[in-house]
Amino acid sequence: MQKRLLSVENISFSYPSSSVLLFENFSLHVDMGEVVTVAGPSGSGKSTLLELITSNIRPQSGKITREKVSQIFQDPYTSFHPTYSILNQIEDVADVLGYEVLCKKLDLDTKLLSEKPHRLSGGQLQRCSILRALLMKPKVILADEPTSALDNITQLEVMKLLMQFLDTVGILLITHDKHLAKWCSDRVIELK
């Protein structure tokens, strides 16, 4: 039996300004080695779900239990500060011991880490985001549209890189890309 890393049980949630429930008795789980995708159009609650999982907001009812999480954000350029080197920023949140091994797995030249974000391509910077997320030693990676700012070839490369770490993590992928979801997921949960 796989180890359960994230469990969202029967949550209900609405924003104070709305009388409509965004989630009503909503449940999902992510086990070790799984990619579970939450897909749906803009406004369907995908980002709100991540906010609930990271405890930035709380559900009105239900329960969320999780192992340690780290996040890969949609836009790699806004997820790094423009005036500091990549390595400095990673060191702020994670122990970088052994980062060279991960860089090799991610096909990322270690010299790029001494650069500021604007010096890297979108694909290189998203690899740095993955590196940062992995160095935080999570059990669950919350991947919020991690390939949407990338071209199709780079999208595929980035997802393949992420999936090579499934022996130690579970991934909750947020996307509106149904083809990507179908290709890489163990389960797809559609939000309306």
Note the pLDDT of residue 1. Answer: 65
Note the pLDDT of residue 177. Answer: 83
Can you tell me the distance from the alpha carbon of 3 to that of 169, in angstroms, rounded to the nearest whole number?
Answer: 10
Q: pLDDT tens for residues 30-56?
A: 999 999 999 988 888 999 999 999 999
Share of the chain above pLDDT 70, in %: 99
Domain ranges for the chain: 4-190
Can you tell me the distance from the alpha carbon of 28 to that of 152, in angstroms, rounded to the nearest whole number?
Answer: 28
Q: pLDDT-derived band of residue 62, with 50, 70 and 90 as boundaries?
A: very high
- What pTM does this model have? 0.91
At position 85, the amino acid (one-letter code) is S
Assign residue 107 a region (left: φ > 0; alpha: ψ between -120 and 50; beta: otherwise).
left
Q: pLDDT tens for residues 160-176?
A: 888 999 999 999 999 88
Note the pLDDT of residue 146. Answer: 85
Note the pLDDT of residue 135. Answer: 95
Q: Which pair of tokens denotes residue 184?
A: 């890489």
Note the pLDDT of residue 157. Answer: 81
At position 158, the amino acid (one-letter code) is V
Note the pLDDT of residue 188. Answer: 96
Which positions ≥6 away from 110 have C-beta within 8 Å?
A: 99, 100, 103
Q: For all residues of the chain together, what is the average pLDDT?
A: 92
Question: Residue range 73-91: average pLDDT?
Answer: 93
CATH number of 4-190: 3.40.50.300
